[in-house]
A and B are shown apart, each in its own frame.
Chain A
Amino acid sequence: MSQVTDTITEPELDAGVEVSAAVIGRSPWELFWRRFRKDKVALLGVAFIAILVLLAITAPLIARFVVHHGPNQLNQDLTNEIGLPAVGPSGNYWFGVDTLGRDMFVRTIYGARTSLTVAFFATGLAVGIGIILGTLAGFFGGWVDTGVSRAIDIVLSLPILLLAIGIAAACSITAAGCLGGLIQPGISLVVAIIALFSWPYIGRIVRGQVLSIREKEFVEASRSLGFTNAGIMFREILPNLAAPVIVYTTLIIPNNILFEAALSFLGVGIPQTTPSWGRMIADAAAGQLYTAAWWMLLFPGVALVFTTLAFNLVGDGLRDALDPRMGG
């Protein structure tokens, strides 16, 4: 009852034909799905992501049963005397090997695990923070709004990469890390940094949405029926945020994937024991190794590009499908 519905009518029939069909009402989700289905490019993106997720989830099984090599399995026999990879893409090693004889195919799909894990957790955290702070700011206004809005402004104006490098570097130099061991180089630090810099995007969108929804009649109606603030927020406002939040979340994911790759490329991201596309690209670029082993650069690079592209296409498709007016 609190949701705005839309209706669509059947296409106009010729004048002579009897109009007997009734007007069919469709829920917003059905409408969304119909529009989304028509966007072929977005569907392609979804397919790619689905395959990627499947590969990421089954990576350990693939490593063990399909190719029989682990991601960190060193093999000195596959490198030449001075440590250059001696095996390119071939029968046993579909993507070739790296300078330590590790299977590049397995490392690439394990890299997908890293990218997707970090992207989802970091994005999830960012979205969580963004929804909470954005809703509070939009709903209560006044002090809360000022505080959150200024926080958003400040974070958005920070030089992200420099700060991330600085924090990661500063927390590496002593054994304990920062804050008495709380912040140490590793996945949690990367997730925290990425979340720290992404939540303002969601926060801002949510705040704007809440501001407009707050004025709508159904909210007034709920208030007059005696619902508390919390009740209104949960029953009326949050469900209406679903659409924009989904869209912007999907659009933030590729940014976060690239952010993690950038941090790993610079050596301040995921420690080298976990394969990461960014780190693999850095290793291939170091010492211009790609001139002697192009496969070390191509596969993680292509994987990164296609994954980012896929998420962007899906995000665009979602945005067009959920609310064609929102697109721009």
Chain B
Amino acid sequence: METLKRSSRVLAVVAVLAIVAAACGGGEEQAPPTGEPSARGGTYRTAIEDFGFTNGFDPTGEYLGTAWGLYSDLLTRTLVTYNHMAGVPGDEIFPDIAESWETSADGLTWTFHLKSGVQFGPPLDRDVTSADVAYAFQRINTKSLIAQYGNYYAGVIEGLTGDAKSQDTPISGISTPDDSTIVFTLSKPTGDFLYRLAMPATAPVPEEVGKCFTKAGDYGRFVISSGPYMIKGQDALDTSSCNAMEPISGFDPDKFMVFVRNPNYDPATDSPEVRSANLDGVVITIDTNTDDIFNKIQSGELDGSWASLPPKPLEQQYLTNPDLTDNFHINSGDRTWYITMNLLVPPFDDVNVRKAVNFVIDKSALQKAWGGPAHGEIATMVEPPEVLPETAEMDPYPSPNHEGDVQAAQDAMSQSTYDSNGDGECDADVCNNVLLVSRNIPPWTDMNPILSENLAEIGINVRIRELETSTAYTTIQTADNLIPIAANAGWGKDYADPYGFDFFIFNSAGIACSGQVNYSGVGMTKDQAAECGPKVLAAWNAATDNGKTPLPSVDEKMDECYGLLDEARTTCWVELDTYLMEEAVPWVPYIWATVFTVTADSVTHWEFDQFSGALSWAHIAVDNGIDPNSVPVG
């Protein structure tokens, strides 16, 4: 009947419109999943004592965990990414620039299909293409740019060797048949390849800007955004020529970093599960005075901490005052803090000495210096418990309450040639005035006297050098310095697989003359030593008796574990880590640190990014309604 037909047609149209409206709702404000009132807007203001960037914030080589959070949550998108949430779900892979991908049957060819509409921020104002992704890999391949974790790709992607002289050199194993397709050809099946594509060095770099920066670290002040936020002032960049380009005004490595929304970001190309992008902006200022940072959080001038430890009297308050429970957050850090010993430098070239050090260190005191159990579990093996739970309960150097076992330490030391009279204390000259690199901020300032005292019990008299965070890292990363022992370092997983933790710090691929992260020198070959200069070569010759007793190495075992899956893989890694701690002994791990963040009342929604080990910029929300452009900096 006519009337019915007409009304049913109207109903149909209404229904379709309703469905379309619901489906197209992605670009507008959506209520957060918890049903709270809109969390959008405001600026998260924080401060830190020192950025501590390992490569000047140049994504090709930048290896600092907190920097990774800035890239992945705010600034640069990668083919795939994480959801920037806490816990095990935070370690799962999600599409980012790529909407889908296929792998060939032999696992050697990976084809990614890029979304359309992912754009670089102003002044570039154009779509991200597959060529931009390929260019990022060409930068990783360039030797002078010192891609600190380049070995996740070198030797894995065909044609990527890490030795290219220029970033213009194309890589044979990466092809871009069109703007939205990129194909990787691998030289061997790599089960965790997706994890490697979530790391910030692979984020697209526009060639028109990138080509101007050929030295490691230089691009760090010019990073072009492909994410929801950009560094303030990026739109004022003069890209007409390399000479005309001035560093983006919103980032001053000594003073501040300001993020504002990227006007070219289209939320429809992203997922609220991955990035809520609640904030209007982020303002990070440098404040060398830790107490000042936390005073400002309490007064409301800052909205929370980022990577600073609260002063202990304040922490005492947070832990004991029930009104403050919502203002602090303890999350698992997936990070091991450790003392590293240099296999090339006496007396640590003797495994008996390294075992003695493992026995003598009072880890319970070190944990207390960190602030007690709230700041982490005492570490007994190299991998954090969430990355390899099977080794978490093992303890090759036990002592009552982890307070150190002086007797066992002296027994181990007495077996060393450096203890000529077998009394358990080193009496060789090399045990006097041993340089120990550490940091000059809490908790290291409390840890240092403990280390001094402990090592003195086995006759090692250390001269402690307290340095700033980045200086300490650079010092031990320079092979030529031959630093005997250092306590400043921590290591977080690159991704949630033991390979993503162990690879660079224990494989010989992590050895370099500058930017070395395998500080102990595990598996260092003669050629590598020679490349770093006569001093290093001489030390290598002395430590290995001219090559007759090579340094302990895990390269072969790691290759074995590389291809395995499931149970077999886990067993392989357990064996490798057991060998490391019982026979190679490059480290004394002492704490699996939690991340302790303090927030002000302005923070209405808290989230933790398990990937980078810090607060989740992607999901956090504040209600201070502040415009990031209005916050005074510098």
Q: Among B61-69, B333-341, B459-467, which stretch is in contact with chain A? A: B459-467
- Is B569 among interface residues, defined by CB-CB distance under 8 A? no
Given contacts A100-B446, A272-B448, contact A185 B368 (CB under 8 A): no
CB distance A287 to B312 under 8 Å?
yes
- Is B122 among interface residues, defined by CB-CB distance under 8 A? no
Given contacts A72-B453, A74-B453, A272-B445, contact A84 B312 (CB under 8 A): yes
In this complex, what residue of B is CB-closest to A101?
B365
Across-interface contacts of A288 in B (CB, < 8 A): 291, 311, 313-314
- Is B32 among interface residues, defined by CB-CB distance under 8 A? no
Across-interface contacts of A84 in B (CB, < 8 A): 312-313, 316
- Is A283 among interface residues, defined by CB-CB distance under 8 A? yes
Distance in angstroms from B233 CB to nearest chain A CB is 31
Distance in angstroms from A217 CB to nearest chain B CB is 57
CB distance B290 to A287 under 8 Å?
yes
Q: Bound state CA distance, A102 and B449, in angstroms?
A: 10
CB distance A82 to B464 under 8 Å?
no
List residues 293-323 of chain B with CB under 8 A from any CB of chain A.
311-316, 319
Distance in angstroms from A236 CB to nearest chain B CB is 48
Distance in angstroms from B350 CB to nearest chain A CB is 20
- Is B237 among interface residues, defined by CB-CB distance under 8 A? no
Give the number of chain A interface residues (Cβ < 8 Å).
28
Q: Among B378-386, B475-483, B613-621, B623-631, which stretch is in contact with chain A? A: B475-483
Distance in angstroms from B366 CB to nearest chain A CB is 10
Across-interface contacts of B471 in A (CB, < 8 A): 173
Q: Bound state CA distance, A273 and B466, in angstroms?
A: 12
Distance in angstroms from B569 CB to nearest chain A CB is 39
Given contacts A84-B313, A100-B446, A174-B481, contact A273 B452 (CB under 8 A): yes
Q: Per-position contact with B for A170-186: 1 when CB-CB < 8 Å, else 0?
A: 00111100000000011
- Is A2 among interface residues, defined by CB-CB distance under 8 A? no
Across-interface contacts of A81 in B (CB, < 8 A): 368, 372-373
List residues 80-127 of chain A with CB under 8 A from any CB of chain B.
81-84, 99-100, 102
Across-interface contacts of B445 in A (CB, < 8 A): 272, 283, 286
Across-interface contacts of A292 in B (CB, < 8 A): 312-313, 316
Q: Bound state CA distance, A172 and B435, in angstroms?
A: 11
Q: Bound state CA distance, A76 and B365, in angstroms?
A: 7
The residue from A72, A82, A175 contacting B368, defined by CB atoms under 8 A apart = A82
- Is A324 among interface residues, defined by CB-CB distance under 8 A? no
Q: Bound state CA distance, A185 and B466, in angstroms?
A: 10
CB distance A83 to B311 under 8 Å?
no
Given contacts A72-B453, A291-B313, contact A286 B463 (CB under 8 A): no
CB distance B442 to A267 under 8 Å?
no
Tell me which of B290, B314, B362, B365 has the highest count of chain A C-beta atoms within 10 A of its own C-beta: B365
CB distance B453 to A287 under 8 Å?
no
CB distance B435 to A175 under 8 Å?
yes
Distance in angstroms from B289 CB to nearest chain A CB is 9
SS class, residues of chain A in contact with chain B: loop
Give the number of chain B interface residues (Cβ < 8 Å).
41
List residues 188-230 of chain A with CB under 8 A from any CB of chain B.
none
- Is A239 among interface residues, defined by CB-CB distance under 8 A? no
The residue from B311, B316, B464, B481 contacting A175, defined by CB atoms under 8 A apart = B481
Across-interface contacts of B180 in A (CB, < 8 A): none
CB distance B464 to A273 under 8 Å?
yes
Across-interface contacts of B369 in A (CB, < 8 A): 83, 99-100
CB distance B465 to A289 under 8 Å?
no
In this complex, what residue of A is CB-closest to B452?
A273
CB distance A175 to B290 under 8 Å?
no
- Is B440 among interface residues, defined by CB-CB distance under 8 A? yes
- Is A79 among interface residues, defined by CB-CB distance under 8 A? yes
Distance in angstroms from A269 CB to nearest chain B CB is 11
List residues 281-328 of chain A with CB under 8 A from any CB of chain B.
283, 286-289, 291-292
List residues 268-285 of chain A with CB under 8 A from any CB of chain B.
271-273, 283
Q: Bound state CA distance, A99 and B369, in angstroms?
A: 8
List residues 461-502 of chain B with CB under 8 A from any CB of chain A.
463-467, 471, 475, 481-483
Across-interface contacts of B368 in A (CB, < 8 A): 76, 79, 81-83
In this complex, what residue of B is CB-closest to A184?
B463
Given contacts A72-B453, A173-B471, A173-B475, contact A82 B316 (CB under 8 A): yes
List residues 223-256 of chain A with CB under 8 A from any CB of chain B.
none
CB distance B319 to A272 under 8 Å?
no
Across-interface contacts of A175 in B (CB, < 8 A): 435, 475, 481-483
- Is B154 among interface residues, defined by CB-CB distance under 8 A? no
- Is B173 among interface residues, defined by CB-CB distance under 8 A? no
- Is B558 among interface residues, defined by CB-CB distance under 8 A? no
Distance in angstroms from B258 CB to nearest chain A CB is 28
7 more CB-based (< 8 A) A-B contacts, given A83-B368, A83-B446, A288-B313: A82-B312, A175-B481, A186-B463, A267-B440, A273-B449, A287-B291, A292-B312
Binding site for B on A (CB under 8 A): 72, 74, 76, 79, 81-84, 99-100, 102, 172-175, 185-186, 267, 271-273, 283, 286-289, 291-292
| 3 nearest A-B pairs in the assembled complex, by CB-CB distance | A287-B311, A292-B313, A82-B372
| 14 A-B pairs (CB sep. < 8 Å) | A76-B365, A82-B315, A83-B369, A83-B372, A99-B446, A100-B369, A100-B446, A175-B483, A185-B465, A267-B466, A287-B311, A288-B313, A289-B311, A292-B313
